[in-house]
């Protein structure tokens, strides 16, 4: 059996970076090199200020960097030295061409695979870490096999990543499960064992699930679809709550106490964001359509549609409450990341909210503890939102505290569930706001009756106004 001694990870992003840093941390006997074509990102990984924010990540990286953990742009060299290569590149939704808007863009996976095939001088285990459509491993295998020879063979595994941003390090150190799919051939099973051995350094073996390649690939899409479906289900119920006087937190709690349902992932919100849920469901929708399963495609598509509806519904509630116009009104948007404890803004609900506020000519004051001003300008300057940064700057002000954001505003909108928003001095904030002062809690994190006692008019997702 192969014993892995040298790992290369292609893609130093939100997945490749933390995942392989934890492998290096837990496997001091293995050399781990994380490579990327993005030199700025690699320089940041090699600096005192890492390119992504994750609680606990700095400690892990600083403990192993330049010992058995390396970050480099020398892709070819790292590939050649490695006996196992993770492909952890981005797989965004295709923007143009066949399947645009649904299918995953596999250009980066293919380019990484071809890169491996072109330069490898010894046998490699190639591991799909990126989230990909079911049977992508087949295309990768075809490319790799076309380049294998008597003395160089490539074995391919699927090892999807289940970490959640914001809790990535904890998820990696104590995973619910690690999934490793392989071709059911002696060589495939041998490669699977080699990767099991890597994870077994710290993951109890009963938590390491081995399956065939296609089950492993589909399980990742399925897990994300099921998680997003729970959120859309609870968000659909939140609309009923607002119209009836039921309280979504109480409903979710009562339902979650049923052991068959369970309490997790039942929090209503302004809508899910992040780089994965929407992309992976659309990918599943596309796959279902390709398999001529239109009813299945429509079923999963509804999860994404409901998410869009939830964001629109929240914006409509805000405008309606603010006397049907927000033109020239000042709105404080608290939170811009797609969830707490991350600086990632990909598909963040805050972007949609902000875009709508800008279109209505409101003046938006934004505060987020981890997202940089440049990132906010970039997200809002994308074509289709507002054409350029100068135009965006006319509508938004980025502040360095929640208090500053709330100054002289008509309304506060909570877009991200950062803990610090729970403990702000709301009396102080109230005093500095225009009256009547409104709070729209899109994350259900605030004590509505306390705020009401201060004088706020409070609107919470999934509850009638108080
Ligand atoms: P990312 O965009 O943060 O990182 C991908 C990196 O790959 C980029 O830095 C890019 O420059 C690099 N890259 C692309 N092609 C390359 C090539 N040929 N050679 C070298 N570097 C190359 O993406 P992220 O978020 O890390 O996601 C990676 C994959 O993991 C995606 O398929 C995603 O769906 C999946 N995933 C993401 C999770 C998340 O929470 N972000 C969780 C689980 C899976």
Q: Is 229 helix (H, G, I), strand (E, B) or coil?
A: helix
Share the mean pLDDT of the chain: 96
Question: Does the complex come out with an ipTM higher than 0.90?
Answer: yes
Task: Name the class of domain 304-460.
Answer: alpha beta
Distance 395 CA to ligand 1 centre (A): 32
pLDDT value for 387: 59
Residue 275 alpha carbon, nearest atom of ligand 1: 41
**Binding site annotation covers 339?**
yes
71 in ligand 1 pocket by Cβ < 6 Å? no
Burial 319-353 (b: 16+ CB within 10 A, else e): bebbeeebeebbbbbbbbbbbbbbbbbbbbbbbbb
- pTM of the complete model: 0.95
Residue 131 alpha carbon, nearest atom of ligand 1: 32
131 in ligand 1 pocket by Cβ < 6 Å? yes
Sequence-ordered strand ranges (E) for 375-436: 396-398, 411-414
Report pLDDT digits (tens) over 113-168: 999 999 999 999 999 999 999 999 999 999 998 988 888 999 999 999 999 999 99
- Per-residue confidence at 383, pLDDT binned at 50, 70, 90? low
171 in ligand 1 pocket by Cβ < 6 Å? no
42 in ligand 1 pocket by Cβ < 6 Å? no
The domain segmentation of the chain, as residue ranges, is: 6-203, 304-460
Distance 406 CA to ligand 1 centre (A): 36
CATH of domain 6-203: 3.40.50.720
Q: Is 51 helix (H, G, I), strand (E, B) or coil?
A: coil
pLDDT value for 384: 58
Specify burial of residue 152 (Cβ count, 10 A radius: 0-12, 13-18, 19+). middle
**Binding site annotation covers 340?**
no
**Binding site annotation covers 232?**
no
**Binding site annotation covers 205?**
no
Asked if the domains at 6-203 and 304-460 fall in one CATH topology, the answer is yes
User: Which protein residue has the closest C-alpha to ligand 1 atom 32?
Assistant: 130
Distance 87 CA to ligand 1 centre (A): 9
348 in ligand 1 pocket by Cβ < 6 Å? no
pLDDT at 372 over 90: yes
133 in ligand 1 pocket by Cβ < 6 Å? no
pLDDT value for 429: 98
Q: Which of 184, 22, 151, 162 is nearest to 192 (CA)?
A: 184
In whole angstroms, what is the distance from residue 71 CA to residue 41 CA? Answer: 9
Calculate the alpha carbon distances from 316 to 270, 323, 353, 385 in Å: 12, 11, 10, 18
Distance 339 CA to ligand 1 centre (A): 19
Give mean pLDDT, residues 307-330: 98
């Amino acid at each position: 059996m192969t014993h892995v001694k040298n790992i290369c990870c292609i893609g130093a992003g939100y997945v490749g970076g933390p995942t392989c840093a934890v492998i290096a941390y837990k496997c001091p006997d293995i050399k781990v090199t994380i490579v990327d074509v993005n030199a700025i990102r690699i320089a940041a990984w090699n600096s005192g200020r890492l390119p992504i924010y994750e609680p606990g990540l700095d400690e892990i990286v600083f403990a192993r960097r330049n010992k058995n953990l390396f970050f480099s742009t020398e892709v070819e060299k790292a590939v050649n030295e490695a006996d196992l290569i993770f492909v952890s590149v981005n797989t965004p939704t295709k923007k143009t061409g066949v399947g645009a808007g649904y299918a995953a863009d596999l250009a980066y996976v293919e380019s990484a695979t071809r890169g491996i095939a072109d330069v490898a001088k010894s046998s490699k285990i190639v591991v799909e870490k990126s989230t990909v459509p079911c049977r992508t491993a087949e295309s990768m295998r075809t490319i790799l096999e076309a380049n294998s020879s008597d003395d160089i063979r490539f074995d391919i595994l699927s090892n999807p990543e289940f970490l959640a941003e914001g809790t990535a390090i904890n998820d990696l150190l104590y995973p619910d499960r690690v999934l490793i799919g392989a071709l059911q051939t002696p060589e495939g099973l041998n490669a699977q064992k080699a990767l099991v051995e890597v994870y077994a350094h710290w993951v109890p073996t009963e938590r390491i699930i081995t399956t065939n390649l296609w089950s492993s690939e589909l399980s990742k899409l399925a897990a994300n679809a099921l998680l997003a479906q729970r959120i859309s289900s609870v968000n659909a119920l939140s609309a009923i709550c607002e119209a009836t006087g039921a309280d979504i937190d109480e409903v979710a709690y009562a339902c979650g106490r049923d052991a068959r349902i369970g309490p997790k992932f039942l929090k209503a919100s302004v809508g899910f964001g992040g780089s994965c849920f929407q992309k992976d469901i659309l990918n599943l929708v596309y796959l279902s359509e390709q398999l001529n399963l239109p009813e299945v495609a429509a079923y999963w598509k509804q999860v994404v549609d409901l998410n869009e509806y939830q964001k629109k519904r929240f914006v409509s509630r805000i405008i309606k409450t603010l006397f049907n116009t927000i033109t020239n009104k000042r709105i404080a948007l608290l939170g811009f990341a797609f969830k707490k404890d991350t600086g990632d803004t990909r598909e963040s609900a805050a972007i949609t909210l902000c875009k709508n506020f800008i279109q209505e000519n409101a003046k938006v004051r934004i505060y987020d503890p981890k997202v940089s001003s440049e990132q906010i300008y970039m997200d809002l300057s994308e074509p289709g939102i507002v054409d350029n940064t100068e135009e965006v700057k006319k509508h938004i002000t980025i502040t360095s505290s929640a208090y500053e954001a709330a100054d002289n505003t008509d309304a506060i909108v909570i877009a991200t569930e950062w803990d610090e928003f729970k403990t702000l001095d709301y009396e102080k904030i109230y005093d500095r706001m225009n009256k009547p002062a409104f709070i729209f809690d899109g994350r259900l994190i605030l004590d509505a009756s306390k705020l009401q006692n201060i004088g706020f008019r409070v609107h919470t997702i999934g509850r009638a106004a108080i």
